[in-house]
Structure 1
Amino acid sequence: MNLSQEEWAEQFKNDDNAFLLDVRTPEEFEDTHIPGATNIDIYKGQGFIYEVDELDKSKNFYVYCRSGARSAKACQILEEMGIENTYNLLGGIMEWEGETE
């Protein structure tokens, strides 16, 4: 599900079953990311699938990238893998006004 910056931030803040996933490259992640995010690069292809497969699929996945395109694709993949609740950050970290590190 695509959520606006405000909806995504509010829902994430109030979700005690949230998992924050950054699907950008490790270099992008090192540069800046949302605190508490786990980085799994969607460009790893099958490696991305393997790493996601190790995660708790009962979590609610809050996914972001630079602009929202890679994370939208990642949400599709997660859903195909049986993860029911995925939330894509529209506009990505480029439009993020919340905390970063």
Structure 2
Amino acid sequence: MKEVTVEDLKRMKENGEDFQLIDVREDFEYQMSNLEGDNIPLSGVVIEADKISKDKPVVIMCRSGKRSAMAVMQLEQQGYENLYNLKGGILAWQQEIDPNISVY
């Protein structure tokens, strides 16, 4: 499984790179804090796969990196080859990039 670090994601955002960010946390988690990605909870990621790009890099994130890793595995079984798991999830983002972001 391919991964990106929070530093990689920050650089991608700052450079205006063309990628899609998918947050697979539940809606209430996304409402608490997010990195402005599309919210598709893990339970619906295969059902809503048509919302996930196949022609540009897609970074998938969650709270710690576990649910997003499951999402990557599920989507790779559907033929996706452009997926990256955000290592450490939003917890790593809080620790390394933005200590003011709300996480639980």
Change (3 A) 1:71 1:87: same
Q: CA deviation at 1:94?
A: 0.9
Alpha carbon RMSD of aligned pairs, Å? 2.2
State the TM-score, normalizing by the size of structure 2: 0.78
In structure 2, relative to structure 1, the CA distance for the partners of 1:80 and 1:92 (3 Å cut) is same
Looking at structure 2, the residues matched to 94 and 67 of structure 1 have their Cα atoms a distance apart, in angstroms, of: 6
Name the count of aligned residue pairs: 97
The C-alpha deviation readout for 1:29-62, integer Å capped at 9, x for no partner, is 0000002x100000x2xx3212113433212111
For structure 1, the 5+ residue unaligned runs are none
> Does the 8 Å CA contact 2:45/2:71 hold for their aligned counterparts?
no
Which residues in structure 2 correspond to 1:1-101 (within 5 Å)?
A: 1-11=2-12, 13-14=14-15, 16-35=17-36, 37-42=37-42, 44=43, 47-96=44-93, 97-98=97-98
* Structure 2: unaligned runs, 5 residues or longer: none
* Secondary structure class of the residue paired with 1:49: coil
Give the Cα separation in 1 of the matches to 2:90 and 2:32.
Answer: 11
In the alignment, the residues of structure 1 paired with residue 50 and residue 77 of structure 2 have an alpha-carbon distance, to the nearest angstrom, of 11
Tell me the SS of whatever aligns to 1:17.
coil
SS of the residue 1:20 aligns to: strand
Identity of aligned residues (%): 35
Q: CA deviation at 1:3?
A: 2.2
Where 2:85 maps in the other structure, the secondary structure is strand
Q: Given residue 83 of structure 1, which amino acid in structure 2 is its aligned partner? A: Y
Counterparts in 2 of 1:4 and 1:55: CA distance versus 1, 3 Å: closer
After superposition, the Cα gap between the structure-2 partners of 1:13 and 1:75, relative to the gap in structure 1 and judged at 3 Å, is farther
